[in-house]
Structure 1
């Protein structure tokens, strides 16, 4: 199977958000910050804390949410030149090959520890933090999305 693709910035930003939000430590942090925000709002309502303390906790909540929703994905997008290239990707029996005008790389299926399907991409994970995004639109254009899904299920045993 072979697909040709390039990346759309808005969709990549959304996929990066999806990646960050699905990280265990980020989910725990967001839950704790939200519980803290609710707790501080309740304490403010019952006049147990000053308005300044409530304001500071609200600013902390807003800052964390903005950093995970805007700052982190945009920073990763700007630093990675990968998202500005055009690619040809080949899914083979023993490996995956990715090519662009500067060269190519090949990964044996054993290099991937897991995969995750988000609304617009398939995330192929090398480890818990490193991954490669494959646009589902390019796969659907070739009419092979179900074939790629079954290949991933067969070749990559662990699914996130």
Structure 2
């Protein structure tokens, strides 16, 4: 199977949000900040703490959500030249290759440690921090997306 694609900025930003929010340490931090914010709201309502503690909790929650929803995906998108290239990917039974105007590289399927499917992309993870996005709209029809999903499940053991 062979696909050719360029990245759409809005879809990439959404995919980066999925990436950040799928990380265990980030989810744990969001949960802790939410518990802290709810606890401070509860204590403020019953007049056990000063309004400053409630405001600090609310401010931390607001900054955290802005960071993971806007700032981090935007920074990654601006710094990575990958999202501005045109790619051609070929998927074979033993490997897959990624190529652009500057060259290409082939990877065995065992180089991919994990994959994640989101509404617009297949995320192919090489390790916990490096991954490659394959846009679903680069496939010609839903049958090819189904074949890709089946191939990923077969070749990559999560």
Contact 1:17/1:68 (<8 A) preserved:
yes
**Could you tell me which residue of structure 1 aligns to residue 46 of structure 2?**
46
Displacement after TM superposition at 1:57 (Å) = 1.5
- In 2, distance between residues paired with 1:5 and 1:41? 47
Does 1:118 pair with 2:118?
yes
- Structure 1 140/39 Cα, relative in aligned 2: closer, same or farther at 3 Å? farther
SS in structure 1 of the partner of residue 133 of structure 2: strand
Q: Using the alignment, how far apart are the partners of 1:60 and 1:10 within structure 2?
A: 26
Gaps of 5+ in 1: none
TM-score (norm 1): 0.95
Structure 1 position 54, deviation (Å):
1.2
* Match of residue 86 from structure 2: 86
**CA–CA distance in structure 1, aligned partners of residues 149 and 38 of structure 2:** 41
Number of aligned pairs?
158
Kindly state the Cα deviation for residue 99 of structure 1 after the two structures are TM-superposed.
0.8
What CA distance in whole angstroms lies between the structure 1 residues aligned with 2:11 and 2:113? Answer: 24
Structure 2 Cα separation of the partners of residues 112 and 136 of structure 1: 18
* 1:5 corresponds to: 5
What is the CA distance between 1:141 and its match in structure 2? 4.3
TM-score, L = length of structure 2: 0.96
Structure 1 residue 137 and structure 2 residue 144: aligned?
Answer: no
1:142: Cα distance to partner?
Answer: 8.1
Deviation at 1:140, TM superposition (A): 4.1
Cα separation, 2, equivalents of 1:143 and 1:88: 19
Structure 2 gaps of 5+ residues are none
